[in-house]
Amino acid sequence: MARLNSYHLPPDKWPGADGLASLDGAEARHLLGVLRARAGETVRLFDGAGRHGLFEITAAASKTRAELRRISETLEPQPTRGVTLALGWNKASRRDWLLEKGVELGVLGIAFWQAARSQGDMPREPKEAWADKCVQAAKQCQSSWLPELSVLPGGVEALLRVAAQHDGCYVLYEGAAPSELLDPAVLAQGRSLVVLGPEGGLEEREASRLGEAGFKALSLGPRPLRWETAALSCLALAHHALLKP
C-alpha cells in the first residue's frame, strides 16, 4: 500500500467518540483543491501530540472544507528520551531549514535564547511560521509528535530555569577540552538539554556560568562549525543513538 498523504488536525479539533472530524483552511485546500481528493478516499491525520489515524473523506462539498470519519486511530506515547536544543538567537538564514531537519531527526524541543553575541532582537514568542515549518516536515516524515517551540529571553539565567526539566544538561562549546567529545550514547539516556551559542559563539562568562550550574561542556571536534552545522550534527548523533533499545 502506497504511503498516504498526511494532514495536520490540531488537538483541539481531534474527533471525540463519534469519530467525525472537519479539515479546513490550508490543509483542506491542498487536499481538495490541489490533490482533488473525493469522498470515499482515505487520508492520514495527525495532531502533533502523539495521535494519528486513518480517516475516510465523507463529504467534500467545497475546496475549503472536508468532512471525515475515523477508520482507525493510534496513540504514540510521548518520548521519554531525546534532545531539546537551546540555540543562541541570530539572524541565520538557515533557521527554517534547521526546524525542518529537527523534526525529521526527532528533536523534542527547540528553544531560542538571547545570548550576549546574539544578532538582532528575538521575538517575544515563537512565530507561527516556525510551527508551520514543523508541521510540513512532520507530514513528510510522518512524525506523530511536533517539537515544543519556545523563546528564552534573559540570557543564561533563562537556560538555568528550564534545566531542572531535563535529565542531563550540556553545552557545546569551542572552549571544551578536545578530549570531551560528545558521546551520542549520553544523549540517549533521558531527556537532554543541549545549549549552543549564536554564530559568534558563547562568551567565556556564559560558558562559565553554565558550568557552575552543572552543565557539562562538550566538543564536536577541533574544527569550528557553523551554528546550523553544530546543531544538525548533535541531532544526527542523538537520532542514531536513540535507535538502539
pLDDT digits (tens, 9 = 90+) for 47-105: 999 999 999 999 987 778 999 999 999 999 999 999 999 999 998 778 999 999 999 99
Local structure of 152: helix, strand or coil: strand
Question: In terms of pLDDT, which residue wins out, 225 or 48?
Answer: 48
Chain centroid to Cα 204, Å, comes to 28
pLDDT in tens, 10-63: 999 999 999 999 999 999 998 998 888 899 999 999 999 999 999 999 998 777
Contact 74, 50 (CB under 8 A): no
- The values of phi and psi at residue 77, to 5°, are -65, 155
Domain with CATH 2.40.240.20 in the chain: 6-75
Using pLDDT thresholds of 50, 70 and 90, give the confidence band for residue 2: low
- Comparing CA positions, the residue from 99, 94, 90, 4 lying closest to residue 44 is 4
Domain with CATH 3.40.1280.10 in the chain: 82-242
Q: Does position 178 have pLDDT exceeding 80, yes or no?
A: no
Using pLDDT thresholds of 50, 70 and 90, give the confidence band for residue 200: confident
- Strands lying side by side in the sheet with 216-218: 148-152, 109-113, 82-88, 191-196, 168-172, 216-218
pLDDT of residue 37: 87
The stretch 103-125 carries a mean pLDDT of 95
Cα separations in angstroms, 195 against 86, 171, 173, 218: 5, 5, 9, 10
Q: What mean pLDDT value characterizes the chain?
A: 93
CATH superfamily of 6-75: Hypothetical PUA domain-like; domain 1 (2.40.240.20)
pLDDT of residue 153: 94
Q: Where are the alpha helices (DSSP H) in the chain?
A: 25-28, 95-104, 128-141, 156-163, 204-212, 227-242
Residues 6+ apart with CB under 8 A from 17: none
Using pLDDT thresholds of 50, 70 and 90, give the confidence band for residue 244: confident
Q: Does position 241 have pLDDT exceeding 90, yes or no?
A: yes
**Which CATH number describes the domain made up of 82-242?**
3.40.1280.10
Using pLDDT thresholds of 50, 70 and 90, give the confidence band for residue 121: confident
Contact 169, 211 (CB under 8 A): no
The region, left, alpha or beta by phi > 0 then psi within -120 to 50, assigned to residue 120 is left
Q: What would the grid cell of residue 47 be?
A: 495532531
Using pLDDT thresholds of 50, 70 and 90, give the confidence band for residue 224: confident
Mark 64-88 as b/e (b = at least 16 C-beta within 10 Å). Answer: eebbbebeeeeeeeeeebbbbbbbb
- Comparing CA positions, the residue from 139, 152, 179 lying closest to residue 3 is 139
pLDDT of residue 62: 77
Chain centroid to Cα 241, Å, comes to 17
pLDDT of residue 146: 98
pLDDT of residue 108: 98
Mark 26-39 as b/e (b = at least 16 C-beta within 10 Å). Answer: ebbbbbbeeeebee
